[in-house]
Structure formats: structure tokens, C-alpha cells
């Protein structure tokens, strides 16, 4: 026996999606599926809903649809001020690379500020609930960073540039192989004949800084130079002034280094300044290699380890867009949710600050 139509529903001049649902005897979500994903609805139900859409003269709210579409093309990103004393920041290159990757996929960045990591996670959750952004990018992730767990708990899609020390199988991240970068710098200097290779880096406890120091240490050990280099490891804040002071400390040693690897180009500029004030010619008397290959490094002809930031930006954006497009599908549990991990190799750019052979009499 054919199902009888339900009585007409009194509607306003512009009937709503709810009016159609009541008239057809289905849920609001079913009507939405008929409009946007008809393949999910049984044929007989779809026909009944389409009948009442036509009978009531229902027209979807195009303004609301446009707002939802625009929100789905927004990616949230917390911006932070440049660290005091730093000459340049890799953050600027990453932000530009991320914006370019988003633009290529018809997505745009929604920049916001927050006082700390907890506030950032809360702001991301609010933006997600309000439709302000579909997903988020985490930057400058530390070893014990609480943001990934917080966003996982809130059900907010995100991808991290960098990774924590634990739990990296639970979320998507893209990172640069920092130990490989400093190890490549040591290999290069050893091949130029250096045996006393110093390291100027950040204090222990910073994830990126620790990994760069580990790369230097591992390469020193691999080349059998531990005895010559164990006292040539100094740490301090990331500023030109601190780099200069730490370089003075190295140059004052009874057996000073003939080459120095630094954790950043900012510190490398401090080493260059100290060497020049010490009366040394960089590239002849002492070799210096920085990290990040900033425009400053190119301007000063400083060898430096280049991060593939443009590639990082593309991977982060593509991974996040995959995640946000899958939100409508049933979500696996947190314990079985697949993660996406990409560890990208940096590249050493050799310039005059380290290209020459090691000095013969130092």
C-alpha cells in the first residue's frame, strides 16, 4: 500500500529546510543529504523529499551556503612576534609558503593571536565551532607541547610543523631532519680538513636546538673527533650578542676551534663578528656554518643549512586539507586514528665562509 502524503505544513513565504523535513516525515539531516549528498539516501525516501521540496517551493539559503563554503576554505594559524635579538625568522618563510600552498588549493589563512598554547587550543576550538576555520596549523612544536593532545581531545583537525618527543603516532606532522643538517655541516668541515669543530647552540631543553646539537655530536663521534671537540660546545640564547660572546669563549680556549657550526644564522652572525674582532679572516683562519639559510646568510656569503620550507608548507597544507575533507566521514577512535608523518631532509649551502681548506698551522 502506497504511503500517504502527510498533510501540508503551513509555511512562511520562504519555507525552511525544517518545513520540508516535517512535511516529508524525515529528519532535517535527511533533507540536507538529499540536497548535498543524494547518494546517501534511499531512492524512495529521496523521491518523497524531492516531492515536498517542489511542492513547498523550498529554496536553499544561498547566503548560508556561501558562508559555510567560505569557512571551509579558511585555515587557522596563530602568529607570534619575532624573538628579540633575532636577525630573521624561518617563521616568515613558512607563513608565506603556507599561504601560497593554500592559495593554490583555493584556501586562505585566518591569522589569530593567543597568549599561550592553552589559549591557542581554546581559540581554535571556538573558531572551529563557529565555522570560522576548518582546520589549524601548529608551529614551533616543543618536546612536551600540550597543544596536540588538547586539539585531539577537542576534535579539532590540525597538522603540526614539528613534533613532540612522545605520541607522534597520534597526529599528523611534518618536520625537517635537524640532526641531519648539522651532521652534514660537520661532514663538510671534516672534508675540508678541520678537526677542532665547535658548536654554538641553544640551551638544552629546546626540541629543535637539542636535535641540531645531537646531529653535531653524532657526526663528531662518527669522525673520531670527540677528544678534540668535547670542550668546544657552548650554548646560549638565540641572538647576535650571545653568539658573539660564546664565540669569544671558544676563541679564548688554549686550542680554539678552526671551524664552528651554529644552531641558527643569527648565532652565526655573532660568531662572524667575534672572529673579525679577534683579527681572524673568516673562510681562511676560521670556517663558520649557520642554519636556516636566511637572506642574511646569502648577503654575508655564509654557508648555511637550508630547510625545505616551501616543501614543508605544501605538505602541511595538503595533509590538513585531506584531514578536513574527511571530517564528514565516520571518525576512527583516537587509539586507531592513522597519522601522517613526513621527515624532510635539509640541504647544506656552501659559501665562502667554509669553502676553503682548514688552516695548516692552527
Residue 290, in any domain of the structure: yes
Which of residues 307, 334, 357 is at a domain's end? 307
Rounded Cα distance between 247 and 329, Å, is 55
Residues 48 and 79 in one domain: no
Residue 361, in any domain of the structure: no
Residues 104 and 147 in one domain: yes
245 CB contacts (<8 Å, ≥6 apart)?
A: 236, 270, 274
CATH number of residue 109's parent domain = 3.40.50.2300
| pLDDT in the model for residue 265 | 96
Q: Is the dihedral of CA 96, 100, 103, 105 positive or negative?
A: negative
Which of residues 288, 307, 326 is at a domain's end? 307
Residues 254 and 277 in one domain: yes
Residue 230, in any domain of the structure: yes
Residues 232 and 84 in one domain: no
| pLDDT in the model for residue 238 | 92
Residues 329 and 247 in one domain: no
Residues 160 and 45 in one domain: no
Residue 6, in any domain of the structure: no
Residues 182 and 221 in one domain: yes
Residues 338 and 240 in one domain: no
Rounded to whole angstroms, the maximal C-alpha distance in the chain is: 103
Residues 142 and 89 in one domain: yes
Residues 101 and 140 in one domain: yes
| pLDDT in the model for residue 69 | 54
Residues 182 and 258 in one domain: yes
Q: Residue 32 belongs to what domain range?
A: 17-56
- The number of angstroms, rounded, from the C-alpha of 20 to the middle of its chain's C-alpha atoms is 45
Residues 118 and 194 in one domain: no
197 CB contacts (<8 Å, ≥6 apart)?
A: 186, 189, 190, 216, 220, 225, 228, 229, 232, 257, 258, 259, 260, 261
Q: How many other β-carbons are positioned within 10 Å of the β-carbon of residue 329?
A: 7
Write the pLDDT tens digit of every residue in 214-241.
Answer: 999 999 999 999 999 999 999 999 999 9
Residue 350, in any domain of the structure: no
| pLDDT in the model for residue 31 | 86
Q: How does 203-229 read in b/e, with b if 16+ C-beta sit within 10 Å?
A: eeebbbbbbbbebbbebbeebebeebb
Residue 357, in any domain of the structure: no
For helices 28-36 and 17-24, angle between their N-to-C axes, nearest 10 degrees: 110
Number of domains in the chain: 3
Per-residue pLDDT of the chain (362 residues; tens, 9 = 90+): 344 444 444 444 678 888 888 999 999 889 888 877 777 888 899 889 889 888 888 877 655 555 555 556 899 999 987 766 666 678 889 999 999 999 998 899 999 999 999 999 999 999 998 888 999 999 989 889 999 999 999 999 999 999 999 999 999 999 999 999 999 999 999 999 999 999 999 998 888 999 999 999 999 999 999 999 999 999 999 999 999 999 999 999 999 999 999 999 999 999 999 999 999 999 999 999 999 999 999 999 999 999 999 999 999 999 999 888 765 444 444 433 445 779 999 999 999 999 999 987 55
Reported pTM:
0.77
| pLDDT in the model for residue 36 | 73
Which of residues 259, 289, 307 is at a domain's end? 307
Rounded Cα distance between 60 and 357, Å, is 73
Residue 4, in any domain of the structure: no
Residue 47, in any domain of the structure: yes
Amino acid at each position: 500500500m502506497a504511503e500517504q502524503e502527510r498533510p501540508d505544513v503551513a509555511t512562511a513565504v520562504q519555507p525552511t529546510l525544517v518545513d520540508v523535513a516535517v512535511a516529508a516525515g524525515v529528519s532535517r539531516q535527511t533533507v540536507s543529504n538529499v540536497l548535498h549528498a543524494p547518494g546517501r539516501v534511499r531512492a524512495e525516501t529521496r523521491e518523497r523529499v524531492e516531492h515536498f521540496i517542489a511542492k513547498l517551493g523550498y529554496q536553499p539559503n544561498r547566503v548560508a551556503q556561501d558562508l559555510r563554503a567560505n569557512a571551509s576554505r579558511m585555515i587557522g594559524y596563530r602568529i607570534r612576534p619575532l624573538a628579540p635579538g633575532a636577525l630573521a625568522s624561518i617563521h616568515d618563510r613558512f607563513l608565506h609558503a603556507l599561504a601560497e600552498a593554500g592559495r593554490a588549493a583555493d584556501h586562505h589563512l585566518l591569522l589569530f593571536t593567543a597568549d599561550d598554547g592553552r589559549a591557542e587550543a581554546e581559540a581554535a576550538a571556538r573558531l572551529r565551532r563557529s565555522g570560522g576555520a576548518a582546520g589549524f596549523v601548529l608551529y614551533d612544536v616543543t618536546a612536551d607541547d600540550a597543544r596536540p593532545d588538547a586539539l585531539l581531545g577537542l576534535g579539532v583537525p590540525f597538522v603540526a610543523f614539528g613534533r613532540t618527543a612522545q605520541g607522534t603516532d597520534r597526529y599528523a606532522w611534518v618536520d625537517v631532519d635537524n640532526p641531519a643538517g648539522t651532521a652534514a655541516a660537520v661532514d663538510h668541515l671534516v672534508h675540508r680538513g678541520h678537526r677542532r669543530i665547535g658548536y654554538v647552540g641553544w640551551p638544552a631543553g629546546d626540541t629543535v636546538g637539542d636535535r641540531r646539537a645531537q646531529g653535531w655530536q653524532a657526526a663528531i663521534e662518527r669522525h673520531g673527533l670527540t677528544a678534540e671537540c668535547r670542550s668546544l660546545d657552548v650554548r646560549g640564547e638565540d641572538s647576535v650578542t650571545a653568539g658573539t660572546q660564546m664565540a669569544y669563549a671558544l676563541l679564548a680556549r688554549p686550542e680554539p676551534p678552526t671551524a664552528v657550526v651554529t644552531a641558527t644564522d643569527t648565532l652565526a652572525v655573532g660568531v662572524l663578528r667575534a672572529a673579525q674582532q679577534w683579527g681572524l679572516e673568516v673562510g681562511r683562519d676560521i670556517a663558520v656554518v649557520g642554519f636556516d639559510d636566511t637572506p642574511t646568510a646569502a648577503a654575508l656569503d655564509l654557508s648555511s643549512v637550508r630547510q625545505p620550507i616551501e616543501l614543508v608548507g605544501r605538505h602541511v597544507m595538503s595533509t590538513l586539507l585531506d584531514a578536513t575533507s574527511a571530517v564528514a566521514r565516520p571518525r576512527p577512535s583516537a587509539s586507531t586514528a592513522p597519522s601522517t608523518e613526513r621527515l624532510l631532509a635539509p640541504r647544506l649551502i656552501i659559501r665562502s665562509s667554509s669553502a676553503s681548506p682548514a688552516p695548516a698551522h692552527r
